Structure 1
Amino acid sequence: MKKFIEYLKSPKSDIFLFLIAILLLNLVCSRAFFRIDLTGPKSYSLSESSRQVVKNLEQPLSVKVFFTKNLPAPYNTIDQYIRDLLVEYKSAANSNFTAEFFDMDKEENQKIARNYGISQVQIQELKNNEVGFKQVWMALAVSYADRTEIIDGLSSASGLEYTLTQTMSRLISTTSALAGLEGQAKLTLYLTRELEKFNINGLKNLEKTVMQAYKKVNSENMDRIDFETVDPPQEQILELSQKYGIQSLNWKNGETTGTGVLGLVLEYGQDFRLLNVKMARSFFGNVISGTENLEEELSENLKSLVSKPNLIGYVKGHRELEYTGNQQNGADVFNSIISDRYQFKDLNLKEEEIPSGLKSLVINGAKDKFEDSELYKIDQFLMRGGNLIIFDDQFEEVYPQGQNLYYQLPQYQPIDNGLDKILSKYGLSVGKDYVMDENCYVNQDQRSGSTPLYFAPVLQKSGLSKTSPITKNLGYVIMLQNSSINPEEAAKNPETSLTVLAKSSPDSWVLKDNVTAIPQMIRKPSDKSTMESQTLAVLVEGKFESAFDKNPEEANNGDFNFSNHFPKSIQSGKIFLTGSSKITTSQVMDSSGNQPVAMFVRNVVDYMNGETDLCTMRTKGLSLNTLKTKKGISAEFAKYFNQFGLALLVALCGLVTLAKISAKKRAIRERYNPDDKREIKKEAKK
């Protein structure tokens, strides 16, 4: 024992004590551990959106894992990734979250899986130098309340967090619009009682009608809404009208004048929705409108306010791209990639108003001119805090008719849809041109060889915004037949912020005369000094000024006047603008939504609907550093440097480090122990 103690005290025991320390540290870390994610897009960390989904679960949510053990590569890492991911969910969730793993070698567990509608999938397996096939279990069952959804065919860990979070969110929102809500929503009817003196059709029963709708919606949503009617004092009327945009009314009764308000506001936290209850004129006089479908409207606004908006307005009536029934030239693929979370709602602005529950409005490739009344509805939607997603074409491909159709080339005719009337007021303009870029997609054909498509710019990371969640994790994006955008005036507005999402390379130019997208008819400019980067997509956020001084259809009506016009935004809105609708078609976008341009468009939709975290979650691991060089000696050098150069650099750094360490040891020995000949003898032997 004495010798052992002396051994521990001697320098020889250092390695022994070090091994004991490592063993104890491993035992501690097996019970309590932490991870640091050093990747730029946080590829191995749970996103904030995922944390919020499970943070305030009101009912039990369970994830059942049906996964075969000891799978061959590349499937063998998926099981562990799922386990690590569910540990992250568990740490972020409350006590209502559970995860259960089933041993699929047991027959009773296989029966449970089949009861959920899960079946085995076939994978390839390399065994004894032979390729065979194996039937395995690779699925999850997610249950919330009385609903269950299956995630099967998990052949890759890519995008699993996004898929799992989306599934959980969909189950929760389907069960209750107010799932995870902290506190109460508040419904307020602002009504000046003095209006009851006037013969306004529907005003007498207005409070009763609102109360009936409130009780029905409130009972369906766990009594999480408070309601009151407020008769505001005169000194607060102007403030309320400016804050919420509720209708202000002015009247003259004999020698006296008065001012009042009428409006129904739904609030939660700092956000609110103004319902469409207001005074209107009819053939029979003044009437209260907006109460016909009040229950449905209240329910939709509630979902939009406290949950995630599902409906997106899609403007029709101006030969916009159809999103159903035209897979080749329509926006079917656009509809497909967002359909897991959103649904388009057709809107003919000539005949109907924009529902108050909508958060975003899409204008996709409009070719016919908007009337002023339609533009006014779009403008006022933005003033109320709505978001505009605009794919604005400036040219239409027109093919000739007749027998010689096959041999004729299309003509590119300018489009005047009238959107510039409101866009210019917001500081944006779209050029009557096509942007060409030397850094473009190159078509490979056996007959014609390599043909550069200058009208299809390939935007590298340097051409994408590094700060916006929409683009910061994308490695590249392919655009198509884009017109240039001038956002200079928008950049000057102190109440809005401008983000240039996408720009072409410095080797770009614009076609203004004889615009075409026929490769053989496009020539590069002889003077390279005329080339410069062009803006292709922008995002403007904040408060805007209306493009209209008043409602074009508004008129005075004797002694009783009212206005629904918002001269300025009452809530912050967003405008996304790009000069092409082609990126929403199958010409550049895949139906699976995995290509960068599909990610770009989907991220735009999510961002405009407040789903910022989904943008980064979906694009984890997509931030690739693609080569800018495509041919010649530089491309060959880059190829071989990536294959062998990096390894040689690492080896060289190791040799240099080793040489420095040896030199330092020799200098220390010569200075402090010059009589020690052991190292010298060893070196002499060598």
Structure 2
Amino acid sequence: MNKKDLKNQAIIKLLIFIAIIVAVNVISTQVFTRVDFTKNKTYTLSPISKDIVSKLDDKMVVKAYFSENLPAPYNNLRRQVMDILSDYRTYSNGNLSYEFYNPTGEEKADELGQEAQKYGINPVQVQVVDKDKFEVKAAYMGMVFLYEGRQETIPFIQSINNLEYEITSKIKNLSVKQKTVVGYLEGDGSLDITKLQQISKGLGDQFELKPVSLGLNRAVPDEVKVLLVLGPTTVLSENKKYMLDQFVMRGGNVAWLIQKVTPNFQQQIIIGNVIDDGLNDMLLNYGIKVETDLIRDLQCGQVTVQSPIGIPIAVNYPFFPVVSNINKDISSFANIPSVTLSFASSIDLNAVQGKDVKADYLLKSSDRSGKAEGFFILNLEQFQNMNKQAADTLFNKQGYVLGAVYNGRFKSFYAGKPVPTDTTEGSGPIMIQQLNESSKESKMVVIGDADFINEEQRPPQDNINFFLSMVEYLADDVGLAQIRSKESSDAPIEDVTDGTKAFVKYFNLIFPPALMLIIGLIVWQRRNKRKKELQTSK
């Protein structure tokens, strides 16, 4: 083969190689794929996100305002956000597009920064190293979604943790024509949801929140699909109970957060006061029984106390059970790692027997738990310096049900009874028709604690996520709940035995040099052999 033929072959191979590269790039623009090895599939859109973005029926524009050249840990954030938005664009059937802008953060000349602030995206302060010294600069890390004359904003993106949930919820809020109405019971000592800022915002972003004030013969408004009963501490009147009962009969879903015992700090010995909300008989009619007890658990949260030398220290408090036994078969709660309760009471699932209702646990205590009944002494000192025998006595039970779900057709507590009316001055006539059984299947969630969402007590974020997922479950909106707690996770190096460590150490010391020596010997032998063949041919 002459030199000309060799040259032609090289050109042909080069052209074929270039053609393959071009073909691969053309195909990659039409066919999207990605291999995601992260544990939680952080970089892969969930089916619910794909479904929501694919149903856009008009053009949506996403404007992302990200300052460039940010320091760690934000240096890769722009690229990661761009990758995620690319996924949404791929599954949007051409209806979603995005644009990235680079505001400089200089107040006087930064028109892009002023534009971002009009959308509610304000600069944040980040530390950067410039010319070997620390400086504080303003940076933008947010995005706005524009759709049919409306907008939704994510003002600050600190990491990609939970970012899919935020983006999908914004897209859904803009594309859904009418939000589901979630009501919350006012008065009677119930938690004021307007003072629960995280919960109010989380629910308000997705649902229409509506206060429900009963009494004076007022019924739960027809548009309310889900009703939140958040730990009433005074006895509800029969008229109010009747309106709650009739809401269930028409197919409404209810979250019952029942606080049976509350601490009394007015005395030196902290005791638990029993709360009577007047709901026991009606709930029992549905197959729901919340016991008047308190569950203690060795798997528990902490309280801060003063040490003998005056230093605040955190100590375990068994009346704050940390519940990690969550029913993962209910998809809405699959990503919730734990819920921390406070002064929680158990739920008897056997009360549902004989009812046309199915009950299942949602939260269970750990394998080292116990129950206090009767007179409740809540002082921390009783758990300090416990020996093994005392611990085995106090925490010798397992699996107390602290939260449960109920599904089915419920019977009215007031079937065959006179309709209770409110005769208070100002009361109007009862405007609803009495129903004796559920017109359709409905759902209830019962938790033997209400204070676990009280933001004045600074609950963990998992508590907030759990409550929001619970409302979504009752609203039949389970998709977003499945991705709310989707976070990137580290892959730590697993512990290994000393023998394995020694093997890896000496393998790394011996094998690479030995391999190079063997390869060198093989090459040397081949050269010697070829040299002898050449000498023989001469």
- The structure 2 residue matched to 1:465, chosen from 298, 307, 327, is 327
- The structure 2 residue matched to 1:312, chosen from 182, 196, 213, is 182
- What does residue range 218-229 of structure 1 map to in structure 2 within 5 Å? none
Cross-structure match for 1:131: 134
Task: Provide closer, same or farther for how the CA distance between residues 471 and 2 of structure 1 changes in structure 2, counting only shifts above 3 A.
Answer: farther
CA-to-aligned-CA distance 1:391-417 (integer Å, 9 cap, x gap):
1011233454xxxxxx64444222232
2:354 counterpart of 1:499:
no
- What does residue range 342-357 of structure 1 map to in structure 2 within 5 Å? 342=207, 343-357=209-223
3-state SS, counterpart of residue 89 of structure 1: helix
CA-to-aligned-CA distance 1:623-672 (integer Å, 9 cap, x gap):
899xxxxxxxxxxxxx9x8577799679859969x99xx9xxx9xxxxxx
In structure 1, what residue type is equivalent to 2:279? Answer: L
2:229 counterpart of 1:370:
no
In structure 1, what residue type is equivalent to 2:62? Answer: V
Whether the aligned pair in 2 keeps the contact of 1:41 and 1:616 (CA below 8 Å) is no
Q: C-alpha separation between the residues in 1 aligned to 2:462 and 2:4?
A: 65
Cross-structure match for 1:160: 163
Cross-structure match for 1:214: none
2:192 counterpart of 1:322:
yes
Whether the aligned pair in 1 keeps the contact of 2:186 and 2:211 (CA below 8 Å) is no
Whether the aligned pair in 1 keeps the contact of 2:257 and 2:449 (CA below 8 Å) is yes
2:444 counterpart of 1:575:
yes
Displacement after TM superposition at 1:385 (Å): 1.6
Task: Provide closer, same or farther for how the CA distance between residues 23 and 366 of structure 1 changes in structure 2, counting only shifts above 3 A.
Answer: same
Displacement after TM superposition at 1:324 (Å): 4.7
Task: Provide closer, same or farther for how the CA distance between residues 427 and 72 of structure 1 changes in structure 2, counting only shifts above 3 A.
Answer: same
In structure 1, what residue type is equivalent to 2:327? Answer: S
CA-to-aligned-CA distance 1:572-615 (integer Å, 9 cap, x gap):
2111111111102125545xxx7111111121122212221111
Q: C-alpha separation between the residues in 1 aligned to 2:148 and 2:499?
A: 54
Whether the aligned pair in 2 keeps the contact of 1:505 and 1:532 (CA below 8 Å) is yes
Task: Provide closer, same or farther for how the CA distance between residues 376 and 37 of structure 1 changes in structure 2, counting only shifts above 3 A.
Answer: farther
Cross-structure match for 1:612: 478
Cross-structure match for 1:596: 462
3-state SS, counterpart of residue 33 of structure 2: coil
3-state SS, counterpart of residue 224 of structure 2: coil
Task: Provide closer, same or farther for how the CA distance between residues 655 and 574 of structure 1 changes in structure 2, counting only shifts above 3 A.
Answer: farther
In structure 2, what residue type is equivalent to 1:134? Answer: K
Whether the aligned pair in 2 keeps the contact of 1:412 and 1:515 (CA below 8 Å) is yes
Cross-structure match for 2:406: 540
Q: C-alpha separation between the residues in 2 aligned to 1:603 and 1:344?
A: 18
Cross-structure match for 1:266: none
Q: Which runs of 5+ in 2 are unaligned?
A: 422-430, 527-538
Displacement after TM superposition at 1:446 (Å): 5.3
In structure 1, what residue type is equivalent to 2:77? Answer: I
Whether the aligned pair in 2 keeps the contact of 1:491 and 1:498 (CA below 8 Å) is no
3-state SS, counterpart of residue 135 of structure 1: strand
Whether the aligned pair in 2 keeps the contact of 1:323 and 1:333 (CA below 8 Å) is no
2:77 counterpart of 1:74:
no
3-state SS, counterpart of residue 442 of structure 1: strand
3-state SS, counterpart of residue 76 of structure 1: coil
Whether the aligned pair in 2 keeps the contact of 1:125 and 1:131 (CA below 8 Å) is yes
Task: Provide closer, same or farther for how the CA distance between residues 526 and 67 of structure 1 changes in structure 2, counting only shifts above 3 A.
Answer: closer
Q: C-alpha separation between the residues in 1 aligned to 2:235 and 2:498?
A: 57
Displacement after TM superposition at 1:616 (Å): 1.8
- What does residue range 196-275 of structure 1 map to in structure 2 within 5 Å? none
TM-score (normalised: structure 2): 0.77
- What does residue range 659-670 of structure 1 map to in structure 2 within 5 Å? none
Cross-structure match for 1:415: 275
Cross-structure match for 2:533: none
Cross-structure match for 2:284: 424
CA-to-aligned-CA distance 1:366-393 (integer Å, 9 cap, x gap):
2222333332322221222211111101
Q: C-alpha separation between the residues in 1 aligned to 2:280 and 2:225?
A: 22
2:251 counterpart of 1:391:
no
2:203 counterpart of 1:338:
yes
TM-score (normalised: structure 1): 0.62
Displacement after TM superposition at 1:526 (Å): 5.1
Whether the aligned pair in 2 keeps the contact of 1:606 and 1:612 (CA below 8 Å) is yes
Task: Provide closer, same or farther for how the CA distance between residues 4 and 545 of structure 1 changes in structure 2, counting only shifts above 3 A.
Answer: farther
2:379 counterpart of 1:515:
no
Displacement after TM superposition at 1:451 (Å): 3.0
Whether the aligned pair in 2 keeps the contact of 1:484 and 1:534 (CA below 8 Å) is yes
In structure 1, what residue type is equivalent to 2:203? Answer: I
Q: C-alpha separation between the residues in 1 aligned to 2:216 and 2:128?
A: 60
Cross-structure match for 2:173: 170
Task: Provide closer, same or farther for how the CA distance between residues 150 and 315 of structure 1 changes in structure 2, counting only shifts above 3 A.
Answer: closer
Q: C-alpha separation between the residues in 2 aligned to 1:564 and 1:512?
A: 41
Q: Decide which moves more: 337-346 or 413-422.
A: 337-346
Q: C-alpha separation between the residues in 2 aligned to 1:157 and 1:486?
A: 41
What is the aligned residue count? 491
Q: Decide which moves more: 541-550 or 63-72.
A: 541-550
Cross-structure match for 1:190: none
Task: Provide closer, same or farther for how the CA distance between residues 398 and 444 of structure 1 changes in structure 2, counting only shifts above 3 A.
Answer: closer
Task: Provide closer, same or farther for how the CA distance between residues 43 and 411 of structure 1 changes in structure 2, counting only shifts above 3 A.
Answer: same
Q: C-alpha separation between the residues in 1 aligned to 2:232 and 2:115?
A: 52
Cross-structure match for 2:536: none
Cross-structure match for 2:61: 62
Task: Provide closer, same or farther for how the CA distance between residues 119 and 550 of structure 1 changes in structure 2, counting only shifts above 3 A.
Answer: same
Task: Provide closer, same or farther for how the CA distance between residues 101 and 322 of structure 1 changes in structure 2, counting only shifts above 3 A.
Answer: closer
Whether the aligned pair in 2 keeps the contact of 1:468 and 1:499 (CA below 8 Å) is no
2:154 counterpart of 1:151:
yes
- The structure 1 residue matched to 2:419, chosen from 537, 540, 553, is 553
Cross-structure match for 2:296: 436
Displacement after TM superposition at 1:88 (Å): 1.9
RMSD of aligned alpha carbons: 4.3
2:86 counterpart of 1:102:
no
In structure 2, what residue type is equivalent to 1:417? Answer: D
CA-to-aligned-CA distance 1:9-43 (integer Å, 9 cap, x gap):
9xxxxxx9xx9999689646753440244556543
Cross-structure match for 1:268: none
Q: C-alpha separation between the residues in 2 aligned to 1:479 and 1:421?
A: 25
Task: Provide closer, same or farther for how the CA distance between residues 336 and 104 of structure 1 changes in structure 2, counting only shifts above 3 A.
Answer: closer
Whether the aligned pair in 2 keeps the contact of 1:428 and 1:487 (CA below 8 Å) is yes
Task: Provide closer, same or farther for how the CA distance between residues 487 and 82 of structure 1 changes in structure 2, counting only shifts above 3 A.
Answer: same
Q: C-alpha separation between the residues in 1 aligned to 2:71 and 2:382?
A: 53
